[in-house]
Amino acid sequence: MLKKIKKILCILGMVIAVATVSVFTWWWFLDGGEGYYRYTFHKNHEPFTFRDTTNTDPIYSDEKFYKTLQNQLHLDDSTMQTICDNSYVIPGLKATRTITDNSAHTMDICTSMTPQGITFANDYVLISAYCCTKQHNSVIYVLDKDTHDFLKEIVLPDKSHVGSIAFDNIHNNVWVCCYNDSSKTAFVCAFSLEEMEKYQFDISFSPIRYSLQYPIDTQKRTSFMNYYDNALYVGYFETNIKAESTVQEFELNDDGGLKTTPNLMNEIYEDEPDEYALPSSVFYISGNAQGMALNSTFVAITQSHGSDNTSRLRTFSNLKNSDGNVDARDFNFLNAIDLPVMAEDCYMDAHGNLYVCFESAAYAYRARKCDHVDRIVYLPAKVYS
């Protein structure tokens, strides 16, 4: 009798196991379970980690990185090796020290940091990143420009998307793209390079403080930004590639802040600011723009949207028309090259070389069936111009 019961229980267990596997298989392949896991679950959940420091090791091997780039660039081995040697591993993709709240005064680990912005600031490389689950404050990773070593993380005072950062080398200020969700207001904020160098997260587990902050009423969002020739260039990302958007130029004053105009409406409405910043010129651009860099001759724009289509880097002439504006829409491009998916912000050095940030290696996107890049990719001027 006991043997019969054991046999029945064994058969019942096998039936339940087969049924469970069958239901899971049906959900995974036929009911969108795979898509949910790859596209939704990863964006809303952070993986557990035992790490208690910001990681500095890459997600993917050097060989994988080489092959991923070569799939798009198709360059000779010497040029490819130069690109790989001069690219920077993005830290913090596995774990980043940050905080959950400005008043917490205790360190927490984020495993869903998503890189966005890139700029050079004297001897440093700065990379901005935000927490995809919105549980943690955004950060800026500080790297040594020459050795590529990770130096420290700068914890920012909010959870903004921080789509871009820029460095004013005249007034030595680091500018950050910010957004206030409650007021639906776009901002550009800044702290000094001196404050960044002095900042130590370990002292109080508190964020750095902005010394400058300006609402940008003429853009829906400050999606990306660049600094050039004593001005900030602030752009808006339009999801529709056929739509048009703008990059707006905001001149800086002698103190390093944005030039502002008195706001006459503040005499009528109490909640109006005393003054506001207005753009001095406009760059007309096409949709899907994620980053912009420029010099006196060229404008470079990175374009991407989603993980299904390759990114594109287009260059345009930095030539103002009779209205004092620049037309950098797609039909006016001078050169274009394809890049791996999910390209974000870019930075141009004094020699015209570009450094492009990618978000595809963040945990939110790591399970997607696409190429993944966990580096700030160096592109010599000869490759794209």
- pTM for this one? 0.91
- How many Å apart are CA 210 and CA 222, to the nearest integer? 16
Q: What is the largest CA-CA distance in the chain?
A: 97
Measured distance CA(303)–CA(159) in Å, rounded = 24
CB 108 within 8 A of CB 142: no
Using alpha carbons, select from 336, 239, 341, 223 the residue that is nearest to residue 328.
Answer: 336
pLDDT mean over 304-333: 95
Give residue 114's pLDDT band: very low, low, confident or very high (50, 70, 90): very high
Q: Could you report the per-residue pLDDT of 239-259, keeping only the tens digit for each? A: 998 899 999 999 999 999 999
User: Among 32-41, 172-181, 336-345, where is mean pLDDT lowest?
Assistant: 32-41
Q: What does the pLDDT look like over 13-30, one tens digit per residue?
A: 776 766 675 655 665 565
Encoded tokens for 244: 């048009």
Per-residue burial over 171-198, b = 16 or more CB atoms within 10 Å of its CB, e = otherwise: bebbbbbbbeeeeeebbbbbbbbebbee
